[in-house]
Structure 1
Amino acid sequence: MRHFLFDFIFTIVCLVVAAWWGFSHGGVSGLMTALAITAILAIMEISLSFDNAVVNASILKGWNDFWKKIFLTVGILVAVFGMRLVFPIVIVAVTAKLGFMEVIQLAINEPAQYAAHLNAHHAEISAFGGMFLLLVFLTFIFGDKEVHWFDWFERKLTRFSKVDAMSTFVAIVVLMISLSWVEEAKEPAILIAGIWGILVYLGVNVLSSLLEGGTDSDEDEVITDAKGNVITNTAGVSSTILKGGIAGFIYLEVLDASFSFDGVIGAFAITNDVIIIMLGLAIGAMFVRSMTIYLVDKGTLSEFVYLEHGAHYAIGALAIIMLLSMKFHVPELVTGLIGVAFIGLSLYNSIQYRKRQESTQ
């Protein structure tokens, strides 16, 4: 409970603000509507981002206390205010060639027009976030792992673990294929956005390698259970990122940003009120951060060996959904259910795995 105490306090504060905002714009009915939508958005954000929490935990567990505190303080400010409020405003300001304060006024006074500007560039946002998340998935799936979830499939892919550029190659192929289902006029902008997603992922890993001072950045982190048995590893992620520091912090923030794109855009399908959107998504972001710390403190990834696998498969599914959403509408409920399904199945299989291990002792 101590992991989530502040989250409940934060939730109450956000709901009070949402109630005041709703009442000031629509009386009692506006108050009730604001509270309901804020709660829905918070639940949506948590359901869409649980896999994010698992992946964050797989990286954060090796960090020292200082960088964990940075993740929970500065990281929260970046996640809540930076990605859920400031970033969408910046997108509209740049693409619509408007001033920052002008866009803020637009978001508050003419939310429908603000939402229209943001949705007009949904494809580019999805291309950037989709490619970054796809590389997170591909780097994991092509990595050499001690334990395989879908055994035959993952062992086949492990053959490519020695090919350093395999993840990038597949990601670029997927990006080029995805251009075939978008309007020709938008192809250059989407291509550039997708390449930026790839460059940001590679850039964080380059920065990480430079900060390592020449050590082997491909060294895998071996995770063992309570009895010392090797159960899995985090393959393909630089050891600097795994140990924390500025490179790891940037990596987690970009990862969180890529997850938040889908939630921010999807929120406008529920309401155009940017204040309510920020409050609802902020509540969700706070709980996701606390879930990450909870998973680290409890050693959940070591106890449930396939949980990290399930989270990465959910990330891969989200990446493909984001790319498909450049042309097709994919309901947020479907996205959330796919993530929950992968996490749930991996959790169930992990329990079965642990029972088999215990029976052979």
Structure 2
Amino acid sequence: MVLKTFGWSFAVTALGLVAAILFGGWTAFGIVAILSILEISLSFDNAVVNAGILKKMNAFWQKIFLTIGILIAVFGMRLVFPVVIVAFSASLGPIEAVDLALTDKDRYQELVTDAHPSIAAFGGMFLLMIFLDFIFEDRDIKWLTWIERPLSKLGKVDMLSACIALIVLLIASLTVGANAHQHGGLHVDKAETVLLAGIGGLITYMIVGGLSGYFENRLEESEEREHEEEEKAARAGKPRTALAIGGKAAFFMFLYLEVLDASFSFDGVIGAFAITNDIVLMALGLGIGAMYVRSLTVYLVRQGTLDEYVFLEHGAHYAIGALAALLLITIQYEVNEIITGLIGVFLIGLSFWSSVRRNKAHAVAEGGTGEKTEVSSGV
């Protein structure tokens, strides 16, 4: 199971490390290895959230996620994206931006640093909306009940997530945006840039997430009919098959996953410049890490880990909220990537521990009464 799921990741790792040695010797090998670990540690929460969405999709779209999706993730976000933001921010042509990335790496890094406020605002608001929509939804299973129970009641207010996100964006643009960090330790007023980029992140979330939700909801009636037919088939002794989302709904969920992955990758791409400003080594290291994130996503789906450890998805979404806040903070202040990664690992680790405790409590309750009893996380 492990080899089948992670086989391509192992192969890409070997090829990537060999390419690094050929490109820049053992020093390049070490840089690529460090970047790979950085990407995996920063994106573990991404894998958990992706798994929660991917498990709803049929086998065809899961394969698309692993093939076309990985090309978008590796070549799009880890190679093309840094070049595009430099071209856009410096008003350069794409060929000029590529030439700059390969021939004048210091200037290239400066331009990426100067573009960071708009990147952070866009990604931060997109991730914030994901967190808010999750935390305001009334779920049967609650992890931090003292937070989630009152917030789920507030979530009944229409458009509350969007209102809070806009308030946060306005405050961010007037505070950290007005004193944005630039290369050389300079700080300039980029309030308007932050505001526009943040609105762009909100619009992107609403369009992609809204379309995927729309088509998913349209399938509900037909799925209910299929469930009824499956129930009849089961009573007749015929095998039952699991339903999974396909068609337009899956397509827009796929787009949602790709935008989500892009938002998660912002901190990894920016953080990579703390280690190297060589775009080739950056693409190799972050690409290897992205492969493991994809494989881990599939592993979580196939193993049913999210069904067994029910608080993992909660922990991942709290990590998303923390990452959204950190992205906005980094508009003005420099935050070490280790801190970013450790916060996500800590929250997911805590949710995993809570899930284990819950499962043990359920086992004890079922053994004593023969019935399932709802048990809180205890956190």
TM-score by length of 2: 0.85
Which stretch of structure 1 is more off in the superposition, 314-323 or 163-172? Answer: 163-172
| Structure 1 ranges of 4+ moved more than 6 A | 239-243
User: Out of 82, 86, 91, which is 2:80 matched to?
Assistant: 86
1:167 alignment partner AA = S
Number of equivalences? 333
Distance (Å, rounded) in 2 between the aligned partners of 1:270 and 1:347: 31
2:9 alignment partner AA = D
Q: Is the 8 A contact 1:64 1:244 kept in 2?
A: no
- What CA deviation, in whole Å up to 9, does each residue of 1:142-196 have, x standing for no partner? 0011111111111010112222301111111111111222226311111000000
Q: Does 1:165 pair with 2:167?
A: no
Structure 1 residues 200 and 333: alpha-carbon distance in aligned structure 2, compared to 1, 3 A threshold: same
Q: Does 1:257 pair with 2:239?
A: no
1:101 shift after superposition: 1.0
Q: Is the 8 A contact 2:322 2:343 kept in 1?
A: yes
2:57 alignment partner AA = W
User: Out of 150, 162, 170, which is 1:176 matched to?
Assistant: 170
- What CA deviation, in whole Å up to 9, does each residue of 1:181-226 have, x standing for no partner? 2226311111000000000000012322453575679x9xxxxxxx
SS in 2 for 1:191: helix
SS in 1 for 2:333: coil
Distance (Å, rounded) in 1 between the aligned partners of 2:216 and 2:319: 30
Q: Does 1:310 pair with 2:315?
A: yes
Distance (Å, rounded) in 1 between the aligned partners of 2:137 and 2:334: 32
- The equivalent of 1:148 in structure 2 is 142
Structure 1 residues not aligned, in runs of 5+: 23-30, 220-238
User: Out of 2, 5, 17, which is 1:3 matched to?
Assistant: 5
Q: Identity of aligned pairs, percent?
A: 53
SS in 1 for 2:158: coil
RMSD: 1.9
Distance (Å, rounded) in 1 between the aligned partners of 2:125 and 2:195: 10
Distance (Å, rounded) in 1 between the aligned partners of 2:296 and 2:69: 14
- The equivalent of 2:23 in structure 1 is 21
Distance (Å, rounded) in 2 between the aligned partners of 1:276 and 1:45: 13
Q: Is the 8 A contact 1:63 1:243 kept in 2?
A: no
Structure 1 residues 210 and 153: alpha-carbon distance in aligned structure 2, compared to 1, 3 A threshold: closer
- What CA deviation, in whole Å up to 9, does each residue of 1:308-357 have, x standing for no partner? 00000001000000000000111000000000000110000100000000
- The equivalent of 1:102 in structure 2 is 96
Q: Is the 8 A contact 2:133 2:161 kept in 1?
A: yes
Distance (Å, rounded) in 1 between the aligned partners of 2:214 and 2:135: 24
Distance (Å, rounded) in 2 between the aligned partners of 1:150 and 1:113: 46
Structure 1 residues 79 and 126: alpha-carbon distance in aligned structure 2, compared to 1, 3 A threshold: same
Distance (Å, rounded) in 1 between the aligned partners of 2:112 and 2:268: 13
1:175 alignment partner AA = L
Q: Is the 8 A contact 2:213 2:249 kept in 1?
A: no
- The equivalent of 2:107 in structure 1 is 113
1:97 shift after superposition: 1.3
Q: Does 1:130 pair with 2:124?
A: yes
Distance (Å, rounded) in 2 between the aligned partners of 1:248 and 1:240: 9
Distance (Å, rounded) in 2 between the aligned partners of 1:9 and 1:195: 40
Distance (Å, rounded) in 1 between the aligned partners of 2:319 and 2:216: 30
- The equivalent of 1:202 in structure 2 is 206
- What CA deviation, in whole Å up to 9, does each residue of 1:95-123 have, x standing for no partner? 21111111111111111111111110101
- The equivalent of 2:197 in structure 1 is 193
2:5 alignment partner AA = H
Structure 1 residues 160 and 56: alpha-carbon distance in aligned structure 2, compared to 1, 3 A threshold: same
Structure 1 residues 57 and 241: alpha-carbon distance in aligned structure 2, compared to 1, 3 A threshold: farther
Distance (Å, rounded) in 2 between the aligned partners of 1:94 and 1:182: 19
Q: Does 1:341 pair with 2:340?
A: no
Distance (Å, rounded) in 2 between the aligned partners of 1:242 and 1:323: 36
TM-score by length of 1: 0.89
Q: Is the 8 A contact 1:60 1:244 kept in 2?
A: no
Q: Is the 8 A contact 1:125 1:193 kept in 2?
A: yes
Structure 2 residues not aligned, in runs of 5+: 180-188, 224-243, 367-379
Q: Is the 8 A contact 1:240 1:248 kept in 2?
A: no
Q: Does 1:60 pair with 2:39?
A: no
Q: Does 1:332 pair with 2:337?
A: yes
Q: Is the 8 A contact 2:122 2:199 kept in 1?
A: yes
SS in 2 for 1:162: coil
- The equivalent of 1:268 in structure 2 is 273
Distance (Å, rounded) in 1 between the aligned partners of 2:145 and 2:51: 24
Q: Which of the pair has more CA radius of gyration?
A: 2
Distance (Å, rounded) in 2 between the aligned partners of 1:259 and 1:248: 16
Q: Is the 8 A contact 1:63 1:242 kept in 2?
A: no
Alignment of 1:65-80 (within 5 A): 65-80=59-74
Distance (Å, rounded) in 2 between the aligned partners of 1:316 and 1:241: 29
Q: Is the 8 A contact 1:209 1:240 kept in 2?
A: no
SS in 2 for 1:269: coil
User: Out of 238, 257, 277, which is 2:282 matched to?
Assistant: 277
1:14 alignment partner AA = G
2:156 alignment partner AA = K
Q: Is the 8 A contact 2:56 2:245 kept in 1?
A: no
Distance (Å, rounded) in 2 between the aligned partners of 1:13 and 1:143: 44
